[in-house]
Amino acid sequence: MTRLDTLVGYGQSVVAYRSRAPQAIMRYLENTETVRAEIPAELVVAAGLDADNLSAEATRLLALELYREDRVSLGRAAELCHLPTEQFMEFAGRHNVPLHYGADDLEEDRQTLERLGL
């Protein structure tokens, strides 16, 4: 299934995802190992991060950097920070990180459109 196939069926998959998301996320979180890190308060303030939600914010920023460096896929980055892919895409956009979409992806989507008669 290509990226475009997923987008064509987007409406149905979002409803299914949202209805099972809480249980799936809780199972995932139960099996996730965590580590603790000390971050200077000055850095937290300079970055404009919410100290009360620092773990989630730092996780999203680290996953974003891994994606930016092409060390993880979009889906894996979203999974690492416990967000649906579309929310991670919005987060990446707010941080001016472009989606990795090259000529091969374009050709694959063009072929899918052709196959679907669109």
55-91 per-position pLDDT tens digit:
999 999 999 999 999 898 888 899 999 999 889 999 9
The reported pTM is 0.62
The tally of domains found in the chain comes to 1
Name the CA dihedral angle for 89, 95, 98, 100, rounded to a multiple of 10 degrees.
-60
Predicted confidence (pLDDT) per residue in 92-109, tens digit: 999 999 988 778 877 887
Distances (CA, A) of 70 to 23, 64, 93: 29, 10, 16
pLDDT digits 0-9 by tens, 12-26: 333 333 444 445 544
The residue range of the domain holding 67 is 3-116
